[in-house]
Amino acid sequence: MKRLFKRGIVTPLFVVTALGAILLSGVSRQANALPQFAIRYGLPCSTCHTMAPRLTPFGYKFYRNGYRLPGVKAKAADLFDTMSFFTYFSFQDTNPGGNTGFNLDGAEVQLATPVTNNLTTKVMYEFSSQSEASSGFAEAWGQYNVGSPNNFFTIRAGQIPVMSGFKLGGDRDFSINDAMMFGSNGPLFDNGQGNFSMAGLERGVEFGYTNHNVTGKLSWLNGVDSTGAGDVTLVGHRASDYEVQGDWLIGNEGSSLSALYYHGVTPFPATTDPNNYPVDSFTDVFDRIGLFASLSHTFYQGDETHLPFSAELNYGALWGKDKTDAAGDTANSFGNLLEADAYLGDRYAFMARYDTVKGSDQIGSPLNATTEAYTFTLAMKPTHYVRYQLEYRNQMRPGNNSLMGAITLFY
């Protein structure tokens, strides 16, 4: 699943622009134009988001209910009231010996709307500005709801996000760099085969049930190819992957507990490892188990002229088991993250995160060592159409540090 926020860094001009935006905007809650659902329902963006794409408990319930307000019938809307537009510009500087430069990744057009009181559709198309990347559909699905606003069943089918839960349980991070535990850091990385990443799209069917603050879902999925891509045509006997996930929203301030189990089967072609030794073809039968927790508290509710202040502490753990060769050998991988976030409404956010990943427990594997990363992110949204992000990351194995920045324009 591609992010709305891409890798990059900040120039002096960017810093001056960002600081100027802060000074001009202050921390007041003055009215601005409200996009898409906020316009349609007459609600501020902070009703559903802390710092997008992070959701509030209300925002997650709104999403699971097919973008419907509790007790409100689906409202008719013209085409532009159902669409959002995104584009992003970034700069990156990685040391030592990493990439440095500007990047214009492309743009996204997203349509998401209730069609009837039971049916919802979402379609996201990504336009790539890079010759090595192709444009195409990201999310594209339909959802049918049955039941009351607080107690309902859902069926979702199409090209769907593998993780669509609350906060970390839905991979809903607002930092520029993804958490390492969601990336391709498993035991196959060192033999040239590739790895499965939890932050992805797949084609399949999801069956869900929501009862007030508890949501569970079972997804029957087509699976991924040897590069971890699930939004492509797959050959052979597929539709053998499944995911079980549950989310429990505790209270109304954003505390939560989420868990998932994923089982997959992916054939890998013969290849060579980084040392040019041949690696036979085999079928990877793999499992992933994740546990995610968030503790949130609002310290100041805000008033007509000042934004509310809230903070949260997040923890995530992900365990994986993969078949690694034709002989049937297996390896385990482990990932953890600890993250602290602070918010001033939906306008400003600060994040500090510590990641650890052990790609393999096989003796002698170059991925047997544990790698760590420290990430610090400042995000600012002075208007409803612009977001600035500045991020520093220090990563071990490979040892490098990077300063990144991005500007996102959206409507």
What tens digit of pLDDT does each residue of 92-137 get?
A: 888 887 778 888 877 888 888 888 889 999 999 988 876 656 788 8
Please compute the mean of the pLDDT values over residues 154-158 and round it to a whole number.
97
**Residue 348 Cα distances to 16, 70, 88, 368, angstroms:** 17, 28, 18, 38
Q: What is the 3-state secondary structure (H, E, C) of the chain?
A: CCCCCCCCCCCHHHHHHHHHHHHHHCCCCCCCCCCHHHHHHCCCHHHCECCCCCECHHHHHHHHCCCCCCCCCCCCCCHHHHEEEEEEEEEEEEECCCCEEEEEEEEEEEEEEECCCCEEEEEEEEEECCCCCCCEEEEEEEEEEEEECCEEEEEEEEEEECCCCCHHHHCCCCCCCCCHHHCCCCCCHHHCCCCCCCCCEEEEEEEEEEECCEEEEEEEECCCCCCCCECCCCCCCCCCEEEEEEEEEECCCCEEEEEEEEEEEEEECCEECCCCCEECCEEEEEEEEEEEEEEEEEEECCCCCCCCEEEEEEEEEEEEEEECCCCCCEEEEEEEEEEEEEEECCCEEEEEEEEEEECCCCCCCCCCCEEEEEEEEEEEEEECCEEEEEEEEEECCCCEEEEEEEEEEEC
Asked if residue 5 is part of any domain, the answer here is: no
* Residues 341, 284: Cα–Cα separation, whole Å: 37
* Residues 396, 358: Cα–Cα separation, whole Å: 12
* Residues 153, 148: Cα–Cα separation, whole Å: 9
- Write the single-letter amino acid at 242: Y
Q: 246 pLDDT exceeds 90? A: yes
Asked if residue 331 is part of any domain, the answer here is: yes
pTM for the whole structure: 0.86
Question: Taking Cα atoms as reference points, which of 229, 219, 325, 185 lies closest to residue 268?
Answer: 325
Confidence of residue 30 (pLDDT cuts 50, 70, 90): very low
* pLDDT for residue 79: 65
* pLDDT for residue 325: 85
Pairing of strands 241-250, 255-268: antiparallel
* pLDDT for residue 133: 66
* Sign of the alpha-carbon dihedral angle for 68, 74, 75, 76: positive
Q: 23 pLDDT exceeds 70? A: no
Confidence of residue 57 (pLDDT cuts 50, 70, 90): very high
Q: 20 pLDDT exceeds 70? A: no
**Residue 370 Cα distances to 15, 193, 242, 360, angstroms:** 34, 20, 29, 9
Confidence of residue 227 (pLDDT cuts 50, 70, 90): confident
**Residue 229 Cα distances to 22, 235, 298, angstroms:** 39, 13, 39
Q: 267 pLDDT exceeds 80? A: yes
Asked if residue 128 is part of any domain, the answer here is: yes
Q: What is the CATH number of the domain that holds 160?
A: 2.40.160.10
Q: 292 pLDDT exceeds 60? A: yes
Give strand pairing partners of 91.
Answer: 102, 405
Asked if residue 84 is part of any domain, the answer here is: yes
- CA 103 to the chain's CA centroid: 20
Number of domains in the chain: 1
Please give the residue range of the domain that contains residue 132.
12-410
Q: What is the pLDDT of residues 163-182, one digit of tens each?
A: 889 989 887 788 888 888 88
Q: Which residue has the higher pLDDT, 387 or 235?
A: 387
Please compute the mean of the pLDDT values over residues 64-70 and round it to a whole number.
87
Asked if residue 6 is part of any domain, the answer here is: no
Q: 54 pLDDT exceeds 80? A: yes
Please compute the mean of the pLDDT values over residues 200-204 and round it to a whole number.
92
* Residues 381, 345: Cα–Cα separation, whole Å: 10
Q: 375 pLDDT exceeds 70? A: yes
Q: Which residue has the higher pLDDT, 22 or 334?
A: 334
| Cβ neighbourhood burial of 347 (10 Å; 0-12, 13-18, 19+) | buried
Residues found in the chain: 411
Please compute the mean of the pLDDT values over residues 277-303 and round it to a whole number.
91
| Cβ neighbourhood burial of 328 (10 Å; 0-12, 13-18, 19+) | exposed
Q: Which residue has the higher pLDDT, 81 or 344?
A: 344
Per-residue tokens: 403? 């300063």
* pLDDT for residue 232: 87
Asked if residue 45 is part of any domain, the answer here is: yes
Q: Which residue has the higher pLDDT, 273 or 340?
A: 340
The percent of residues in the chain predicted with pLDDT above 90, rounded, is 41
* Residues 206, 200: Cα–Cα separation, whole Å: 15
What average pLDDT does the structure give for the chain? 83
Asked if residue 3 is part of any domain, the answer here is: no
* pLDDT for residue 350: 96
* Residues 162, 159: Cα–Cα separation, whole Å: 9
Find the Cα–Cα–Cα–Cα dihedral 13, 14, 20, 24, rounded to 10°. 140
**Residue 337 and residue 350 in contact, taking contact as beta carbons nearer than 8 Å:** no
Asked if residue 4 is part of any domain, the answer here is: no
